[in-house]
Amino acid sequence: EDQVTQSPEALRLQEGESSSLNCSYTVSGLRGLFWYRQDPGKGPEFLFTLYSAGEEKEKERLKATLTKKESFLHITAPKPEDSATYLCAVHPFRRGGYNKLIFGAGTRLAVHP
């Protein structure tokens, strides 16, 4: 069964303390892996798409990487405004039928001054 697991569930960092969020996935084939940021009371905001193992994408203090079984969202020298829930979603390869996006439950990140 296709599955996406994010860890940790919650992470507290001091401002400037770099860390990584993990997204592990079990799918029969990968058509794309997506990272989203969600602020409280708002909808998910698209960050990155990764398609194949070894690929990396960067945006400001965030860098997303992809292997055959997991993706990492690295946060370098985070600031309080990086506090949010980060969601990972996987688009598995499927022959026939609807090709749905599978979401993880998210990692709640809190960055304190």
Partner 1 sequence: NAGVTQTPKFQVLKTGQSMTLQCAQDMNHNSMYWYRQDPGMGLRLIYYSASEGTTDKGEVPNGYNVSRLNKREFSLRLESAAPSQTSVYFCATKRTEQAGYEQYFGPGTRLTVT
Kindly list the residues in this chain that would bind partner 1 in the complex (CB under 8 A): 4, 31-32, 34, 36, 41-46, 49, 51, 87, 89, 91, 93, 98-106
**Distance in Å, CB of 76 to partner 1, minimum:** 23
Distance CA 91, CA 103 (A): 9
The distance of closest approach from Cβ of residue 29 to partner 1 in the complex, given in angstroms and rounded to an integer, is 10
Question: Residue 10: what residue type?
Answer: A
Identify which of residues 34 and 78 has a Cβ nearer to partner 1 in the complex. Answer: 34
Please say which residue, 78 or 88, places its beta carbon nearer to partner 1: 88
Query: What is the rounded CA–CA span in Å between residue 111 and residue 13?
Result: 5
CB of 53 to partner 1, least distance (A): 15
Contacts with 59 (C-beta within 8 Å, 6 or more apart), sequence order: 47, 48
Alpha helices (runs of H) in the chain, residue ranges in sequence order: none
